[in-house]
Amino acid sequence: MRARRTPEPYLWLLFSGGGVVAALLLPVLVLIFGVLAPLGVIEPPPAARVRALLDPLLVRLALAAVVGLCLFHAAHRIRFTVEEMTRGGRLDVVLAPLCYGAALTGTVIAVLVLF
């Protein structure tokens, strides 16, 4: 019998890749740009500084990858959490395309913004 091919292993790969990237990078970025700078605890980096940070192609590629992976991580986790909380396995037909579709849309927007 031929094994049925499913995209699930790749989705789990994106989930765990995104989990690691989010774990290593997000807290410090949220701390600086989301909490300390808006509260005035530190001097907010001026626009020119942020532009200079985003200038190297490698940084923009990395940021696009980080955003994409984080979104797919969240999509995967939200999909299964909602299904477990509601015991709604039958929702998967709708929920899976909705979650991954949103993650894909967000990734495309990030690429359009950065390039």
Partner 1 sequence: MTALPSYRPRVHPLWWARRRAYLVFVLRELTSVFVAWSAAYLVLLARAALAGDAEYAEFRAFAGSPWVVALNVVALAATAFHSVTFLNLAPRAMVVRLDGWRVPGFLIAGGNHSAWLAVSALVAYLVLRS
- Whose CA is closest to 30, among 87, 70, 76? 70
Dist. CA 9–CA 21, nearest whole Å? 18
Exactly one of 8, 13, 23, 56 binds partner 1 (CB under 8 A); which one?
A: 23
Q: How far is the CB of 67 from partner 1 (least distance, A)?
A: 5
Q: How far is CA 68 from CA 13, 15, 48, 58, in A?
A: 13, 11, 25, 15
DSSP assignment, residue 55? -
Q: How many residues bind partner 1 (CB under 8 A)?
A: 52
The answer to whether 104 touches 58, Cβ cutoff 8 Å, is no
Asked if 105 interacts with partner 1 (CB under 8 A), we say no
Residues 54-73 that bind partner 1 (CB under 8 A): 54, 63, 66-67, 70-71, 73
Residues that bind partner 1 (CB under 8 A): 16, 18-20, 22-35, 37-39, 42, 44-47, 50-51, 53-54, 63, 66-67, 70-71, 73-78, 80-81, 84-87, 106, 109-110, 113-114
